[in-house]
Amino acid sequence: MRIGDPAIVTAFALYLVAMLGIGAWAWRRTRDLADYLLGGRRLGRWVTALSAEASDMSGWLLLGLPGYAYAAGLEAGWIALGLLAGTWLNWRLLATRLREATAAHGALTLPEFLAARLGGGRALRVVAAAFILFFFTLYTASGLAAGGKLFESVFGLPYAQAVLAGCLVVVAYTLAGGFLAVSWTDVVQGLLMLAALIAAPLVAIGAQGGWEATLAAVAARDPALLDPLSRGGEPLGAVALLSLLAWGLGYFGQPHILARFMAVRDAAELVPARRIAVGWVALTLGGAVLVGLAGIGYLDPPLGGADTEKVFLRLVQAVFHPFVAGVLLAAVLAAIMSTADSQLLVAASALTEDLYRGLVRPRAGERELVWMGRATVAGVAGVATAFALDPDSRVLDMVAYAWAGFGATFGPVLLLAVWWPRLTRAGALAGMVAGGLTVIVWKHLEGGWLDLYELAPGFAAGLAAAVLASLAGRR
C-alpha cells in the first residue's frame, strides 16, 4: 500500500469531519462550567461505559501493547490481566460511592471533592492540581507521540508535522464542546477501536492458515514467546510478574476515567455500565495481544526497536483493502484522541476550578471560567506537544510513567475518602505527596527489587502515609 493512498485519506477525512461535527453540536449545549467539565451530569450507561474505557485505553492499546506482545509474546498477557482486574475493581469500589459523594458536595473535580470532604484547605487543592498538571502533560505527550507515529507511517509526513497535526485536531473539538464533545466522540472512537482489534487479528490469523499455523510461526521465531512465564528464554521473575500485574492498581487514581463516574445522570446506571465497560476491556485487550502474535508470523521483514509499536499499522495495511485499512487505522487516531481530549479537559479543570477560581478569582463568572478552561486546554496541549516531538519516544514507556503517577498519587487517597471516615486532610495531603514523589524517585532507581514497576511502591507509600498521618492527627 503506497503512502498517501487516496482511499486511506478519504477514510481519515470522513472520520475527522465526524469528530469535529460532534464538537460543534456539543458547543451549542455547553452553557456553564458544569456543562464544560462534567456535561451537566447527564450521561447514560452506554456513554459512561464507552467513554470511560475509550479515554482509558489510549494509543498504547493499538501501538504499545501490540508492540509489547510482538516483542515479548504471551508475557504481555499479564499486563492485560492486571488491567482487566483493575477495571472491574475500579467500577466496583469507586464508581457508585464517588458519584454520590461528589454530587452531594457539588464538586466538579477530584481536588474540589477532597477539599469539601475533608473540610477545605487550599494546600490540598493546590498539591492535587499540581500533580494532575504534571502527570497529564506527560500522558498527553504520549498520545501525541502515538499520533506522530501514525501519520508518519500512513502519510509519510515528517514526524514533527504529524505530531502538530494531531494536536490541532484534538484541541479543536475539545475547545469547542468540552466534556459532552469528549464523551460522545469517545463512544464513536470506542466502537471503532473494538472493531479494529477484533477484525485485524482474525483476518491476519486466517491469512496465515489459522490459529495453529500462527502459533507455529511464533514458535519458529522463538519458542519462548509462547511461554507466559518466560522472558527472553529465562524464567519470568517475581519482580517482573508483579510489575506487570501492578498496572491494575493505577485505575483508582486516573482523573480522566473517574470523571465519567462523576458525570453519570444516576448512580443506578453504573451497574449496567460496569458490565458494558468490563466486556469492552476484555475484548480489546485480548485483541491487542493477538495483533502482536499475528504480526510475528505475518510481517516480513520483522520489526525491531521502537518500530515494534507499529505492528498494528503494518498489519492492517498488509491485509486489508486501502479504504477498509483507512477506517481501521482511524481507530488508532480514535484511541489517541479519546484519551488526549479527556486528559486536556481534566488538566483544564484543575487549573480553572481548583487554581483559578479556587485561589485567584473566587467570584469569576461562568462565561469567564469556560473561556479560561479553553485557554488552559490550548496551553497544556502546547507543552505536551513539545515533549512529544522526540521521534524516539516510546508510547508504552510514557504511558507507564504517567499511569503510575496518577495511580499512586490519587488512588489510595480516593479509596480511603469514600470508604474510611477516619481520613483527615493531613492524611490525604501526606498520601498524595508520598505516592507521587515515590513514583518520581523510584523511576530512576534500578537493580533487584528496585526494578519493580514504580506504581506498586508508590501506591503502598501513599496508602501508608495517608493512614498513618490520619491516625496521628485530630479526628
CATH code of residue 307 = 1.20.1730.10
**112 touches 358 (CB < 8 A):** yes
| 3-class SS string, 97-109 | HHHHHHHHHCCCC
Mean pLDDT of 283-307: 89
Convert the pLDDT of each residue in 85-96 to its tens digit: 999 999 999 999
**335 touches 55 (CB < 8 A):** no
Would 427 be classed as within a structural domain? no
Convert the pLDDT of each residue in 244-273 to its tens digit: 999 999 999 998 888 889 888 888 999 999
> Residue 123 and residue 267: Cα distance in Å, rounded?
30
Would 299 be classed as within a structural domain? yes
Would 371 be classed as within a structural domain? yes
Would 349 be classed as within a structural domain? yes
* Number of structural domains found in the chain: 1
pLDDT band at 3 (very low <50, low <70, confident <90, very high): low
**413 touches 428 (CB < 8 A):** yes
Would 164 be classed as within a structural domain? yes
> Residue 396 and residue 116: Cα distance in Å, rounded?
35
> Residue 78 and residue 245: Cα distance in Å, rounded?
6
Task: Give 174 or 325, the one with higher predicted confidence.
Answer: 325
Q: Looking at the whole model, is its pTM more than 0.75?
A: yes
pLDDT band at 35 (very low <50, low <70, confident <90, very high): low
Q: Helix, strand or coil for residue 75?
A: helix
| Structural domain for 104, as ranges | 6-395
pLDDT for residue 234 is more than 90:
no
Mean pLDDT of 72-84: 95
Query: Residue 280's pLDDT is what?
Result: 95
Task: Give 351 or 103, the one with higher predicted confidence.
Answer: 103
The torsion of the CA quartet 286, 289, 293, 296, rounded to 10 degrees, works out to 150
Average pLDDT value over all residues in the chain: 83
Most confident of 200-209, 262-271, 368-377: 200-209
pLDDT band at 32 (very low <50, low <70, confident <90, very high): low
pLDDT for residue 201 is more than 50:
yes
Q: Shortest CA distance to 401 belongs to which of 363, 358, 440, 362? A: 440
Cell numbers that stand for 466 in this block: 495517608
